[in-house]
Amino acid sequence: MANNIGRIWETDPDSKPRERSSQFQNDIVGRFRSGRLVGKTPEALNEWRVTTGDPVIAELIAGLMGGESAEWDTDKEDNLEILTDSKAVAIIIDSSDKLDASMKLFGNSGLVHHCDGVEFLSPDEDKGEACGCPPLLEDRKAKARSGRGPKPSVDLIFKLEASPESGYFRFNSGSWELVKVLHTVIESIDKYDGPVRATLAIENVSYTTKAGRDVSYNKPVISVVGAYVPATQADMEKAA
């Protein structure tokens, strides 16, 4: 019997899934987000929100993490979003080079301050010069809250452990809590000679202050589990 599978997309070629070349696997295929804008108001989420411009990736995320793919209002390429049912996802981090942190302040004209807390990282004419940020973390947070100082910008590039062949995802965070422990995360990654298995999670923190005020907020958590060992063909055949 003739194989007619090649004609499935003949009448709707735009819906045909894109081929996965080795070059495509090095692209950022989606972004993990822990919040969203409702109107002009930021809203923290208890489960991961993933955005992508690829319907195949959107379907993959929905299948792995729950939720449904839907379009959202953006002028960027990642016009599909999935509000997942998952607080945590198993990931692969190639090396500590895939985890970067800096301090950024944006103004009406774009990025106006970019440093590592001690020296400017950009623009080129200021790179290496003292940035003038306060030495103490609490003072930096106070300047950031007033709009006069930069906020953290933590970038993590990773693959999904359940589907490493799908390509790289990005997570960006402005969490001060993540900045506090970032050095320990990097140390945990560097203990291994090669990629590591890790968990990227949204964790809720709730407590009551001495003054009796209830405090509750979410923070991103990166936990290194161990070395990542790719599945061999024999392993995949056994699993099948």
Q: Tens digits of per-residue pLDDT, 181-231?
A: 999 999 999 999 999 999 999 999 999 999 999 988 999 999 999 999 987
pLDDT at position 232, please? 67
Percent of the chain with pLDDT over 90: 73
Q: Which residue has the higher pLDDT, 224 or 25?
A: 224
The confidence score (pLDDT) of residue 236 equals 55
Report the pLDDT value the prediction gives residue 93, as an integer from 0 to 100. Answer: 98
pLDDT over 60 (residue 44): yes
- Burial status of residue 80 (CB atoms within 10 A of its CB: 0-12, 13-18, 19 or more): buried
Please tell me the predicted confidence (pLDDT) of residue 29: 97
pLDDT of residue 8: 43
Residue 186 contacts residue 96 (beta carbons within 8 Å): yes
Token output for 182: 């970032």
| Mean pLDDT along residues 137-141 | 91
pLDDT at 174 over 90: yes
Contact predicate 92/116, CB 8 Å: no
The CA-atom distances, in angstroms, between 209 and each of 193, 205, 213, 216 are 43, 13, 5, 11
As a whole number, mean pLDDT of residues 22-26 equals 42
Q: Which residues lie closer than 8 Å to 189 by C-beta, 6 or more apart?
A: 93, 95, 96, 99, 196, 198, 224
- Domain map (residue ranges) of the chain: 87-240
- pLDDT higher than threshold 50 for residue 38: yes
Ramachandran angles phi, psi of 235, nearest 5° = -60, -45
Compute the mean pLDDT over every residue in the chain, rounded to the nearest whole number. 87
One-letter amino acid at 236 equals M
Instruction: Please indicate whether residue 231 or residue 22 has the higher confidence score (pLDDT).
Output: 231
Q: Predicted confidence band at 40 (pLDDT cuts at 50, 70, 90)? A: confident
pLDDT at residue 233 tops 90: no
Across the range 147-171, mean pLDDT stands at: 95
